[in-house]
Structure formats: structure tokens, C-alpha cells
């Protein structure tokens, strides 16, 4: 039986909502959808490029706290508030962190939970 471990990081502010930022079960780490929220609970300033960098940094912080890294990501599910407008810029930032041998990925358009949010990414990673 695998032990369930909640993962938090001082690098990632929590939202106060009823979910864990990340959970490790066995050799897998499941990172909840991360968005570009500042400590004030509002979307950080910036375009899709800035928000994508912010979100990936949050994911990297949680994975590091779990003992793994972006290099061990096996799946990303990406939600953009406007796929047609933002896909190219989002993909340019994403490609700096994940190459063509990186994790599987699904990218869809979605209504995100707070005004000003442009991207949310959910990640599953393996332990090294």
C-alpha cells in the first residue's frame, strides 16, 4: 500500500481552498493546477508569457519540495483562457522548460477561476 504525502513549498503560496498543492503517492507526484496568483489572491500582472513563467516556477517549486523536478514530468494538462490568441506565446515559454522528449501534454481553452488569469497547468511527475 502506498503512503499518501501532501507536498507544500515555501516558494508556493497556498490559496486556502480545500485541496493540496501536490500529493505524492508511491513514485508519482500529482501537482494541482497552478495559476499565476500573487499572495494577495489576485492574478499577477503580465501577459501570457509572464504568467506561464510564473506558473512553471510554482510547479518546479512543488516538484523540488517532493524530491523531483520538471525533468521528471510525465504529463501536463494546460488550460489557456484564449487558445487562439495566446497559444504561440505560451508554447514558446513552455518549450524553454520542456523539449520534444518532455512530458505528454494536452492544451485546451477554459474559463479560469479568477479574473486576469490566462493559464493553468496541472502536472504529474515521477520520482527520480
pTM of the model: 0.95
Which CA distances in Å does 49 have to 24, 46, 53, 122, 124?
A: 29, 7, 6, 17, 22
Residues 104 and 38: their CA atoms lie apart, in Å, by 28
Residues 121 and 102: their CA atoms lie apart, in Å, by 15
6-18 average pLDDT score: 85
Quick one: pLDDT band at residue 72, thresholds 50, 70, 90? very high
Residues 35 and 112: their CA atoms lie apart, in Å, by 9
119-126 sheet: strands from edge to edge:
4-7, 22-25, 28-35, 119-126, 73-80, 104-109
59-78 average pLDDT score: 97
Domains and CATH numbers, the chain: 4-126 (3.30.1330.40)
42-71 average pLDDT score: 96
End-to-end CA, the chain: 20
- Residue 38 clears pLDDT 60, i.e. is over it: yes
Residues 109 and 57: their CA atoms lie apart, in Å, by 21
**Mean pLDDT (the chain, rounded):** 94
73-94 average pLDDT score: 98
- Residue 1 clears pLDDT 70, i.e. is over it: no
- Residue 14 clears pLDDT 80, i.e. is over it: no
Amino acid at each position: 500500500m502506498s503512503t499518501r504525502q501532501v507536498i507544500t513549498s515555501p516558494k508556493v503560496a497556498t490559496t486556502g481552498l480545500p485541496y493540496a498543492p501536490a500529493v505524492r503517492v508511491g513514485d508519482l507526484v500529482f501537482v494541482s493546477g497552478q495559476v499565476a496568483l500573487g499572495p494577495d489572491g489576485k492574478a499577477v500582472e503580465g501577459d501570457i508569457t509572464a504568467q506561464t513563467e510564473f506558473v512553471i516556477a510554482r510547479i518546479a517549486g512543488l516538484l523540488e519540495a517532493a524530491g523531483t523536478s520538471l525533468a521528471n514530468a510525465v504529463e501536463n494538462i494546460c488550460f489557456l483562457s484564449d487558445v487562439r490568441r495566446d497559444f504561440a506565446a505560451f508554447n514558446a515559454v513552455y518549450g524553454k522548460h520542456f523539449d520534444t522528449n518532455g512530458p505528454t501534454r494536452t492544451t485546451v481553452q477554459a474559463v479560469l477561476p479568477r479574473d486576469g488569469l490566462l493559464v493553468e497547468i496541472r502536472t504529474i511527475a515521477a520520482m527520480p
